[in-house]
Amino acid sequence: MKSLTLYEYEARMYAFQLARVDKEHEMHKQAWLNYQVTSMKESGQKQVPVYKTFNDFYDYEKQISAVTGESIEIDERKKRLANIAKRLNERG
């Protein structure tokens, strides 16, 4: 039986944690898809989905950064540009 060095152990634990986040991501994605089919809330006269995007339901990047210890920050300019692009894509 071969023993692991501390570095090898930490590398395997890191890989295990990332694999766990990926598995959670898939489970949450499946739950989100199932939920999207039936979940609605009242908004004025019509019903709209509770979660507009999958990221509202499960923040994959946040979970990855919790494992890696890295901070994922998107500046306000990039957010604004992404929203503009999204609206343009929705128009056609």
pTM above 0.85, yes or no: no
pLDDT digits 0-9 by tens, 51-87: 778 787 778 888 888 888 776 666 666 777 777 887 8
Residue 1 included in any domain: no
pLDDT, position 75:
64
User: Residue 48: what are its φ and ψ, rounded to 5°?
Assistant: -130, 155
- Look at the chain and report how many structural domains it folds into: 1
Q: How far is Cα 68 from Cα 51, in angstroms, rounded to an integer?
A: 27
Q: Which domain holds residue 49?
A: 6-91
